[in-house]
C-alpha cells in the first residue's frame, strides 16, 4: 500500500539530480569562502602583508566581491531547487496532503541538504587551502616564510555565511508552502522571468555609467581629503555603486538585445536568444555575478606582474652587480676581505667605486592628526621633518660618471629617468640641519638628477661641494655613511654573493637592526617634543639579524644592499607569500565564476528542454540544435569575461596613470603581462565552455 511517507520518499528520489545540484552549489560556495577566509586570517599572510597597506586593502576588496558573488550563487541555487521542488509539492497537495503535514518533511530535507553541504564545504576549505598552497610550494617557489599556519578565528566568517545559507533556504521553503494556488505551485518550474525590455541604448548607457562610477569612486577619496582635510570614511566607497548599476545594464542589454547587428540576419540564433530573454532576470543576475568574480580574479592576478615586472627590469639594468651602503661606524668587510672571499669562490671582481654621504635633517610640512584616532588632520611646519642622505657633487660625478654642477645654496634629488615615484623625497626644504652641532644651512630645491643605483626608500640628494663641507663640520660617524660599488669579472657566483651578504650583515651592531621607515631624525624630534617615537613601540619596525633570509628582512632592512644575482634568483622567494596569496585568490574567484557559468548554461537548457524536443519533432537537424546551444552558452561565458577583464584592465591602467600622471616603461611592461594573463584566463574559460557545450548537448540528447 502506498502511504504518503513512501510517496514523499519516491518524489525525493526523483528529485535527486536537483538535490545534487543544490548540494554541489552550496558545497562549492562554502568551500571557497572557507578557503578565502582561512587565507585572510592566516598568520603566514598577515605577517607579510603590512597592516593598513595597499595589499591588505586589495585582499579585503576582492573578498567582498567574492562574498557578494557566492551569496548570489547560493541564493540562486536555493531558488532553482525550490522551482523544481514545487511540482512535487503541488502533486502532494493535489492528492490531499495538508501544508502542515508536508512542512516537517520539507524543512527536514532542506535543513539536511543545506547543513550537510555547508558544513562539508567549510571543512573542505582547509584541506583545499593546504593542498593548493603546498602544491604552489612544490611547483613554483618555497621559502621559510611560506609555512602555512591557520588561525581558526576565520571560522567566524564561514559560520556567518553558513547561517545565511540555512536561513535563506528555510525562508524559501516557508515561502513555497505559503502559496495557495495548487496549479501555480505545480507549474512553478515552467514559469519564465522575463524582464521589461530596455531601450536599445541601455548597453551604451551602462558602459558610460560604469566608467563614470569607476572614475568617481577612484577619485572620491582624494577629493574628500582636499575639501575636508580628513581621511575619507568607509562610506566613500559608495561612489563605486554606479559601477554595479552600469554592469547590470550591460548584462540586461546582452540578455535582451545582444551586441550583434542583425538587420540582415534578424532570425539568426533567435531560439537561444529567446530562451535567455524569457529567463532574463535570472540570467542577468548570473552574468553580473560572474562578471564581478572574473573582475576580482583579474584584479588579484594583475597584482603579480605589476609587482614583479618593474623589479625585474630594474635589476637587469643596474650598472653595477654589487652596491653596498652602510654607516661609517660599522665594521663591515673591507675591499681586501671581499677580494679574499671572492678568491675562495674562484671569482674576480672589478670596477670598484667608493664614496661617502651624510645623514642630515630636512625641514618641511607634516600632516598631523587633530586628535588620536581622529580622521581630521592639519599641516604643521617642522624644523626636523625627516632624514636625507646627501652626496657631494664631486662624489656623485665620480661614482656615476656623470658631470653635474650644483649651484651654491641648492640641492638636487636623485630620481629615475621618468621622475616617478618621488613621494618619499622632500622637495620643499629650506634648510639642512647638522644633527650633532645643530648648525643650519639654508637650501632650496633645484630639480632632479637621474641614477638608478641611488634609488631607495630614504632618498639621496646632491649638494655643492662647499655646502657639503659646511654641512659635514664635526659630524660624527653615526651620521656619516659609505658607498661601495663593484662588478663581477665574468660570470657571477650566487654562493659568493650569499656568503658576502651574510658576512656584511655580521659587521653591523644592534643599533642598525632597523627598517628603512625608522627615521633617527624624526625620532629625535619626537623625543625632544616629549613624545614617544612610533618606531620604538610598533612591532612592524622590528627585524632581526638572526633571520636574514626572511621577506621582512630582505624587503625592509635599512642597509639592505643591491646584489643583482641574489635579487634575480631570490625574486620569487622574496615575494612568495604575495605570489601565493594573490594567485590563490585569483583561482578561487575564477573557479567560482566558471562553476556558476557552467551551472547556468545547464539550467537554461534544462528549463527549456521541451523547446528542444519540439524542435526535434519539427525536423531540426543536430547541427542546428548544437549551434543554438553554442550561441546560448557563448553569451553566458563570453560577456562576463569581456566586461570583467576589460573593466579591471582599464582600472589598473588608471591606477598606474593616477600614481604620477604617466605610464613608465616598467608599468607598460607590467600591463602587457596583464594582457597575457587575460589571454590565459580566456583560454581556461574556453576549455570550460567547450566542456559545458558537450555536457548540455548530452543532457538534451543532441548528437
pLDDT of amino acid 155:
87
Q: Please tell me which of 238-242, 255-259, 393-397, 541-545 the model is most confident about, judged by mean pLDDT.
A: 393-397
Q: Does the pLDDT at position 364 exceed 90?
A: yes
Q: Please tell me which of 241-250, 261-270, 500-509, 626-635 the model is most confident about, judged by mean pLDDT.
A: 500-509
Q: What is the tens place of the pLDDT at every residue in 225-283?
A: 888 888 888 888 888 888 888 887 887 777 776 666 554 455 555 666 666 665 556 67
Between residues 396 and 627, the one the model is more confident about: 396
Hey, what long-range contacts does 671-675 have (CB within 8 A, 24 or more apart)?
671/306, 673/305, 673/309, 674/298, 674/301, 674/302, 674/305, 674/306, 674/649, 675/649
Average pLDDT estimate for 548-554: 81
pLDDT of amino acid 192:
54
The full set of domain ranges for the chain reads: 1-191, 199-256, 270-320+564-703, 322-491+509-544
Instruction: From 187, 222, 248, 262, select the one nearest 631 (Cα to Cα).
Output: 262
Give whole-number Cα distances, 73 to 54, 597, 634, in Å: 28, 10, 20
> Residue 620: which pLDDT band, with cuts at 50, 70 and 90?
confident
Q: Does the pLDDT at position 304 exceed 70?
A: yes
Average pLDDT estimate for 450-470: 93
Burial class (CB in 10 A: 0-12, 13-18, 19+), 79: middle
Of 343-347, 493-497, 622-626, 685-689, the least confident:
622-626
Give whole-number Cα distances, 560 to 553, 564, 679, in Å: 8, 12, 37
Q: What is the tens place of the pLDDT at every residue in 640-693?
A: 898 888 888 888 887 777 766 677 777 888 888 889 999 999 999 999 999 988
Q: Judge contact between 387 and 357, C-beta under 8 A.
A: no
Question: What is the helix, strand, coil percentage profile of the chain, to 5?
Answer: 65, 10, 25
Q: What is the tens place of the pLDDT at every residue in 466-495?
A: 999 999 999 999 999 999 999 999 889 999
State the maximum Cα–Cα separation within the chain, in Å, rounded to a whole number: 110
Average pLDDT estimate for 434-453: 93
Strand bridging mode 410-415 / 444-450 = parallel
Q: What is the tens place of the pLDDT at every residue in 175-211?
A: 776 664 555 544 555 555 555 667 777 888 888 988 8
Q: Does the pLDDT at position 577 exceed 80?
A: no
Average pLDDT estimate for 77-83: 71
Q: What is the DSSP string of 47-107?
A: HHSPTTSHHHHHHHHHHHHHHHHHHHHHHHHHHHHHHHHHHHHHHHHHTT--HHHHHHHHH
pLDDT, averaged across the chain: 81
What gap in Å lies between CA 98 and CA 606, rounded to an integer?
A: 30
Q: Please tell me which of 98-102, 378-382, 552-556 the model is most confident about, judged by mean pLDDT.
A: 378-382
pLDDT of amino acid 60:
76
pLDDT of amino acid 668:
83
> Cα(first)–Cα(last) distance of the chain, in Å?
42
- Classify residue 39 by its DSSP letter: H
> Residue 539: which pLDDT band, with cuts at 50, 70 and 90?
low
Q: Which residues contact 330 (CB under 8 A, 6 or more apart)?
A: 507, 508, 509, 512
Q: Does the pLDDT at position 120 exceed 80?
A: yes
pLDDT of amino acid 384:
94
What gap in Å lies between CA 33 and CA 119, rounded to an integer?
A: 12
pLDDT of amino acid 55:
67
- Chain-centre distance for alpha carbon 592: 16
pLDDT of amino acid 180:
45
Between residues 56 and 290, the one the model is more confident about: 290
Report percent pLDDT > 70 for the chain: 81
- Chain-centre distance for alpha carbon 594: 19
Q: Judge contact between 197 and 273, C-beta under 8 A.
A: no
Instruction: From 635, 599, 607, select the one nearest 700 (Cα to Cα).
Output: 607
Q: Does the pLDDT at position 588 exceed 50?
A: yes
pLDDT of amino acid 140:
66
> Residue 412: which pLDDT band, with cuts at 50, 70 and 90?
very high
pLDDT of amino acid 481:
95
Q: Does the pLDDT at position 503 exceed 90?
A: yes
Between residues 559 and 602, the one the model is more confident about: 559
Average pLDDT estimate for 2-26: 64
pLDDT of amino acid 91:
63
Q: Judge contact between 309 and 666, C-beta under 8 A.
A: yes
Amino acid at each position: 500500500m502506498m502511504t504518503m511517507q513512501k510517496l514523499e520518499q519516491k518524489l525525493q528520489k526523483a528529485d535527486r539530480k536537483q538535490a545534487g545540484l543544490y548540494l554541489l552549489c552550496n558545497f562549492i560556495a562554502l568551500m571557497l569562502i572557507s578557503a578565502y577566509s582561512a587565507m585572510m586570517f592566516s598568520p603566514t599572510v598577515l605577517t607579510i602583508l603590512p597592516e593598513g597597506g595597499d595589499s591588505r586593502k586589495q585582499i579585503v576588496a576582492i573578498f567582498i566581491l567574492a562574498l557578494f558573488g557566492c551569496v548570489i550563487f547560493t541564493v540562486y541555487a536555493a531558488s532553482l531547487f525550490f522551482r523544481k521542488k514545487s511540482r512535487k509539492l503541488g502533486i502532494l497537495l493535489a492528492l490531499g496532503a495538508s501544508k502542515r503535514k508536508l512542512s516537517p518533511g520539507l524543512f527536514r530535507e532542506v535543513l539536511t541538504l543545506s547543513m550537510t553541504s555547508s558544513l562539508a564545504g567549510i571543512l573542505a576549505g582547509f584541506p583545499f587551502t593546504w593542498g593548493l598552497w603546498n602544491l604552489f610550494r612544490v611547483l613554483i617557489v618555497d621559502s621559510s616564510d611560506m609555512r602555512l599556519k591557520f588561525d581558526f578565528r576565520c571560522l567566524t566568517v564561514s559560520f556567518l555565511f553558513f547561517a545565511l545559507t540555512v536561513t535563506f533556504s528555510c525562508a524559501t521553503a516557508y515561502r513555497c508552502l505559503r502559496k495557495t494556488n495548487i496549479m501555480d505551485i505545480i507549474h512553478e518550474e515552467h514559469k519564465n522571468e522575463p524582464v521589461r525590455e530596455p531601450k536599445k541604448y541601455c548597453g551604451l548607457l551602462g558602459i558610460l555609467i560604469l566608467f563614470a562610477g569607476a572614475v568617481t569612486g577612484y577619485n572620491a577619496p582624494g577629493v574628500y581629503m582636499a575639501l575636508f582635510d580628513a581621511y575619507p570614511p568607509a562610506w566613500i566607497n559608495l561612489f563605486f555603486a554606479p559601477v554595479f548599476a552600469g554592469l547590470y545594464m550591460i548584462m540586461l542589454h546582452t540578455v535582451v538585445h545582444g551586441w550583434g547587428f542583425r538587420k540582415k540576419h534578424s532570425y539568426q540564433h533567435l531560439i537561444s536568444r529567446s530562451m535567455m530573454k524569457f529567463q532574463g532576470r535570472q540570467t542577468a543576475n548570473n552574468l553580473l555575478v560572474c562578471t564581478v568574480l572574473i573582475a576580482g580574479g583579474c584584479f588579484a592576478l594583475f597584482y603579480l606582474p605589476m609587482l614583479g615586472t618593474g623589479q625585474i627590469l630594474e635589476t637587469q639594468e643596474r650598472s653595477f652587480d654589487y652596491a653596498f651602503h652602510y654607516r661609517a661606524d660599522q665594521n663591515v668587510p673591507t675591499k681586501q676581505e671581499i677580494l679574499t672571499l671572492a678568491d675562495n669562490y674562484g671569482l674576480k671582481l672589478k670596477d670598484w667605486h667608493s664614496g661617502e654621504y651624510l645623514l642630515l635633517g630636512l625641514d618641511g610640512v607634516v600632516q598631523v592628526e587633530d586628535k588620536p584616532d581622529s580622521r581630521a588632520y592639519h599641516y604643521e611646519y617642522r624644523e626636523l621633518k625627516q632624514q636625507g642622505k646627501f652626496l657631494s657633487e664631486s662624489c656623485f660625478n665620480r661614482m656615476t660618471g656623470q658631470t653635474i654642477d650644483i649651484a651654491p645654496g641648492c640641492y638636487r634629488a636623485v630620481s629615475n629617468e621618468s621622475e616617478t615615484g618621488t613621494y618619499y623625497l622632500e622637495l620643499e626644504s629650506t634648510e639642512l640641519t647638522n644633527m650633532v652641532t645643530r648648525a643650519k644651512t639654508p637650501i632650496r630645491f633645484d630639480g632632479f638628477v637621474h641614477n638608478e643605483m641611488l634609488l631607495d626608500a630614504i632618498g639621496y640628494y646632491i649638494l655643492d661641494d662647499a655646502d657639503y663641507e659646511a654641512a659635514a663640520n664635526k659630524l660624527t660617524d653615526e651620521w656619516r655613511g659609505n658607498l661601495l660599488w663593484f662588478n663581477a669579472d665574468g660570470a657571477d657566483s650566487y654562493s659568493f654573493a650569499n656568503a658576502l651578504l651574510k658576512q656584511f650583515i655580521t659587521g653591523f651592531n644592534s643599533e642598525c637592526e632597523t627598517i628603512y621607515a625608522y627615521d633617527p631624525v624624526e625620532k629625535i624630534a619626537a623625543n625632544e617634543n616629549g613624545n614617544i617615537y612610533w618606531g620604538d613601540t610598533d612591532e612592524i619596525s622590528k627585524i632581526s639579524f638572526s633571520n636574514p633570509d626572511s621577506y621582512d628582512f630582505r624587503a625592509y632592512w635599512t642597509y639592505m644592499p643591491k646584489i643583482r644575482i641574489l635579487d634575480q634568483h631570490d625574486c620569487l622567494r622574496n615575494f612568495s607569500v604575495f605570489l601565493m596569496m594573490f594567485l590563490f585568490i585569483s583561482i578561487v574567484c575564477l573557479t567560482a565564476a566558471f562553476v556558476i557559468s557552467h551551472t547556468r548554461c545547464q539550467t537554461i537548457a534544462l528549463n527549456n528542454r521541451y523547446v528542444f524536443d519540439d524542435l526535434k519533432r519539427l525536423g531540426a537537424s543536430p547541427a542546428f540544435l548544437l549551434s543554438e546551444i553554442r550561441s546560448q552558452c557563448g553569451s553566458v561565458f563570453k560577456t562576463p569575461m569581456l566586461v570583467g577583464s576589460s573593466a579591471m584592465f582599464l582600472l589598473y591602467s588608471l591606477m598606474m596613470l593616477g600614481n604620477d600622471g604617466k605610464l613608465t616603461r616598467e608599468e607598460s611592461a607590467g600591463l602587457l603581462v596583464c594582457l597575457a594573463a587575460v589571454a590565459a584566463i580566456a583560454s581556461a574559460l574556453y576549455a570550460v565552455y567547450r566542456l559545458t557545450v558537450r555536457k548540455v548537448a548530452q543532457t538534451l540528447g543532441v548528437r
